[in-house]
Amino acid sequence: MTRITQFLKNYEYAIIAWVIIIWLVTMAIYYSWDREVIGAFIILVGVIGQAFAALGVWVGLVPVVGPLVVKVLTLPLIWLLNGIGTIVSYIAIKRGYTKDLVNTRVLAVVLLIGITVGFILGKLI
């Protein structure tokens, strides 16, 4: 069996799940479908088809940088910062601080990207 057919056989369900996810996102944007319903269905398809785990594996296959990206994204600190940001965002939206919330979330995303890039550069240098 060639390497390509072996890859397609190993990740058959994940590839199908990603095709469905891309199709759903495209159709949702084109037809302006309800975001919450499409989001829930995408999460359901991704979990059942193991699409998100496969994406981590595919990123990890990139030489040198891939394993570092996967390692950083699975750090508990990243998950903790993102979770706290989500909880604070929920509270801020309830209290009416939506404009300030956008700036805060942008800063949080920049911080997480900075941690990721810094970790990768630190390991490479």
The 10 Å CB-count burial string (b at 16+, else e) for 35-49 is eeebeeebeebbeeb
Q: What is the pLDDT of residue 26?
A: 94
Q: What is the pTM of this model?
A: 0.62
pLDDT at residue number 76: 83
The mean per-residue pLDDT over the stretch 75-91 comes to: 83
pLDDT at 109: 82
Mean pLDDT score across all residues of the chain: 85
Neighbours of 119 (CB within 10 A): 17
Give the integer Cα–Cα distance in Å for 41 and 103.
Answer: 29
103 to each of 51, 87, 116, how far by Cα in Å? 31, 16, 20
Cβ atoms of 77 and 108 within 8 Å: the answer is no
The whole-number pLDDT of residue 97 equals 81
How far apart, in whole angstroms, are the C-alpha atoms of residue 72 and residue 54? 17
Average pLDDT over residues 107-111: 82
- pLDDT band per the 50, 70, 90 thresholds, residue 103: confident
d(CA 89, CA 54): 29
For the cut 90, the answer to whether the pLDDT of residue 124 exceeds it is: no
DSSP string of 23-55? HHHHHHHHHT--HHHHHHHHHHHHHHTTHHHHH
Encode pLDDT of 36-79 as tens digits: 888 888 888 888 888 888 888 888 888 888 888 888 878 887 78
Q: What is the pLDDT of residue 15?
A: 92
Q: Is the pLDDT of residue 1 over 80?
A: no
